[in-house]
Structure formats: structure tokens, C-alpha cells
Amino acid sequence: MKTKIYQSCKFFKTDMPCVYHKKDSRICSECTDFRETAGTILIIKKDAAGDVLRTTAILEPLKKKFPNHRIIWLTAEENKDAISGNSYIDEIWTPSFETLQAISFFRFNIVINLDLSPDSLITAATTKADKLYGFKYKKDGSVFCSNKSAEDWFLISHNDGMKKSNRKTYQQFITEIAELPCYGEIIVTLQKPSVEKANTFAKKHHLTDKRVIGIHTGSGSKWPTKRWPEKNIIRLIKMIAEKKYTVLLFGGMEEKDIMEKLIRNAKAYLINTGYNNTTPDFFALLDLCDVVVTADTLALHIATGLKKKVVALFGPTSPYEIADYGRVEKVITPLDCFCCYKRECNKKPFCMEEILPETVFSKIEKYYEQKIHSNGNPYI
């Protein structure tokens, strides 16, 4: 018996039956869930987990503009978990010989490359596409920019002075580069196993009906100048402890030493969330917080996507590129040399030292006061 396979369906797989056939053995001609694919969009955004995550802000408007297109996202293997489970993304690809062969073989309706790294530029240049937004190599090795906003981002990316004077957010830039009408939320997808782990963690530490403040302690080895000094964190912890709030400490293996020092020296009750959490577990643990205090790191973008109140600390990087969504309180160093984009600095005073714990604490208190006034519940 001959049956027709609808290869243009969004749910078609080349090597196995689709999800609906596996569910109830239905065949294509009788399926009510058929979704015609009008085309395919390839997004190239591989570099830096935080940038990958905040780039998800284009997905909702992109899907509204192209509702019947499949979206494939090419990202670095280590950043895959940051966008895994996102309902707007049909497939996540990571660089490999086979993947790059596929990219060079297939024709895409749209390619959006928002990376300026050489490997992403060459990938975009060798991809067959009806329309490219963003960046690619030209034959002479120079960089092609698809429109004025792409040109502006390219210039800003190569000039720290322009970074300092710029007042457009990253989301505004990528929206204009992709020629979309607006940007959406940063999309953070919580995985069920990680949520269950986080709930178990919350029960173990009696977090129900507590005011929970998350403090992300680090900035990674590439950006030591973003890190808020230990003495400032300790002073903030003491202020929080006086109010009987609960503090969750966050960080990775690079922050292990500082987290252990804080636990020893702060003389307050601190809960260590661990140093080696997977990305999905990290997402779910941050979701336990009411407020997250962080430098300009991945945690900032995760907490923003989770719709938490965020107190974000800025010294060497631009606060203006960060979209606040009405939830991010930016605390900027008072020093004139801010937004220098230096990864090493011996200046005294150091910009991050000048961000006072009292200022940060006042932002936390303001959040809870507003919550009480808005709904009368001091715990949410």
C-alpha cells in the first residue's frame, strides 16, 4: 500500500517517523497537525553564552514575521544548553564537519549572522541564502555589513570610545540588523529535571516564604575587571543578614575560592548553590531567587529572562547596551573611566570597588517595599 509522506511538514524527519506517527500511528494524509514549512532561517550566534542567550530576544518577533519558517540555530557546543528546549527553535546545530557540510549544501531562505568571529564570518559567506542579515566575509577578506545598523555595530565593536558613547541596547541593534519591528524577551527555558532538583534544594534549605537574594560572585577568567570585590560582597551580605533575608551564593569552578572565603569570612548564614552546576541546573537555581545581584555576566541575562529583579553592577563594560525590561536596576561606578573595556587594570581606586554595598542594598529594599505596596505580600 502506497502512502504519501509530506516532506514539507515542519515535523518531518528524514530518518524516522514523526512525533505524531509515533504517538498514535497516524499517516500524513490523515494528520490534523500538518504544518507546511514555508522556508528555513539559519541563525548564527555561537560566541559567549550570555550573548547567545540575550540574542533569543529576536525569536518571538522573527516567528511573528515568518510564522511558517523553520528556525535552525548554529551555536558553540558549550552554549547549546543555554537555548535547549526553546520552543521557537526547531533545531540546534553545533559546529562539526558534518554540520558545516550541511550548511554549505542546503539553501536557506534567510541567514542571520550576528557574530564577528572569523569562523562565523566564513560560515555566513559560504552559505547559500536568499537573504543575509548581519555579517560575512567578502572575497577580499573584509567584512560585509548588511545594513546601517550592522555597520554601526561593527564600528562600535572595534572602538571602545564609541562603546562608551553608545546609548542603544544590544537588543535594539540585533533587531535592526535583522530588520524586525521590535525585540522580545530573553527566553530562558527551564528543564523539568532541573526544576525538580531546584525544588528539592529549596525544601532542604527551607526557602518557602523567605526573601531570597541571589549573589553571583564572579565574572569568569576572561573578565576579572568585572568582578565586585570580596570586601564589598561581605558588607552587602551583612546588611542582608540583619534583615533576616536568605542569601544564595552563585558561581562556577573559577569562583570556588571566593565563595568559600565568603562563607568563612562573612559571619552570616549563606547557602552555597555549588560550583559545578550544569547550565539547566544553574537556570533553575537562579529561578529560586526574588532578586539577583550580579556583574555584567551570563547570570544577568538569565535572571532578566526569568523576570527576576536584577541589580546589575557595571564598571569596565557598558550599562547602556543592557536592555532593562523594567526589571534591571543598573548600578554604575562613579569613576569617569567606566566603560573602558579593559580586562586588566591597576588603577586605584578600582572602578568596581567604588560601587557601594549601601547602594546595592537600597535597590533590594526598594524592590521589597514596592512588592508590599502593590500586593501586600512581603514574600513575593
Per-residue model confidence as pLDDT tens digits over 312-328: 999 999 999 999 999 99
In a domain, 163, yes or no: yes
**Are 198 and 327 in a shared domain?**
yes
pLDDT of residue 213: 98
Give the DSSP H or E segment for 82. Answer: helix 80-83
Would you call 329 helix, strand, or coil by DSSP?
Answer: strand
Q: What is the pLDDT of residues 342-355, one digit of tens each?
A: 999 999 999 999 99
Task: Provide the domain limits for residue 268.
Answer: 192-375
Q: What is the pLDDT of residue 379?
A: 47
Q: Do residues 214 and 332 both lie within one domain?
A: yes
Q: Are 47 and 103 contained in the same domain?
A: yes
**Of 12, 322, 1, 329, whose CA–CA distance to 172 is shortest?**
322
Show the CA angle centred on residue 174, arms to residues 170 and 177, nearest 5°. 140
Do both 154 and 236 map to the same domain?
A: no
The reply to whether 185 falls in a domain is no
pLDDT of residue 243: 94
Query: How many residues are recorded in the chain?
Result: 380
* Cα distance between residue 349 and residue 340, in whole Å: 14
Same domain, 8 and 145: no
Structural domain tally of the chain? 3
Residues 217 and 249 sit within 8 Å (Cβ to Cβ): yes
Q: Name, in order, each residue with C-beta under 8 angstroms of 194's C-beta and a sequence gap of 6 or more.
A: 278, 280, 281, 283, 284
Residue 184 included in any domain: no
Q: Model confidence at 156, in pLDDT bands (50, 70, 90)?
A: very high
Please give the Cα distance from 312 to 304 (Å, whole number): 10
Residue for grid cell 550541511: 102
The per-residue b/e assignment along 91-117, b for 16 or more CB within 10 angstroms, e otherwise, is: ebbebeeeebeebeeeebebbbbbbbe
Same domain, 244 and 315: yes
Handedness of CA 268, 269, 275, 278 (dihedral sign): negative
- Residues 356, 226, single domain; the answer is yes
Across the range 160-178, mean pLDDT stands at 97
**Which residues have CB under 8 Å from 232's CB, separation 6+?**
352, 353, 355, 356, 357
Read off φ and ψ for residue 107, nearest 5 degrees.
-105, 130
Above 90 in pLDDT, residue 6? no
| 223 and 248 in a common domain | yes
| pTM for the full predicted model | 0.93
In a domain, 219, yes or no: yes
163-187 exposure pattern, b = at least 16 Cβ within 10 A, e = fewer: bbebebbbbbbbbbbbebeebbebb
pLDDT of res. 2: 60
Q: What is residue 84's three-state secondary structure?
A: coil
Q: What's the chain's average pLDDT?
A: 94
* % the chain with pLDDT above 70: 98
What pLDDT shows up at residue 380?
46
53 & 148 share domain = yes
Q: Are residues 147 and 2 in the same domain?
A: no
Quick check: 327 and 310 in contact, CB under 8 A?
Answer: yes
What is the C-alpha separation between 53 and 330, in angstroms, rounded? 19
Contact yes or no for 355/232 (Cβ under 8 A): yes
Is residue 102 domain-shared with residue 166, that is, in the same domain?
yes
Could you report the per-residue pLDDT of 236-292, keeping only the tens digit for each?
999 999 999 999 999 999 999 999 999 999 888 999 999 999 999 999 999 999 999
Can you tell me the distance from the alpha carbon of 36 to that of 7, in angstroms, rounded to the nearest whole number?
Answer: 9
CA–CA distance, 341 with 318 (Å, rounded to integer): 8
Q: How far apart are CA 111 and CA 18, in angstroms?
A: 26
| Same domain? 294 vs 265 | yes
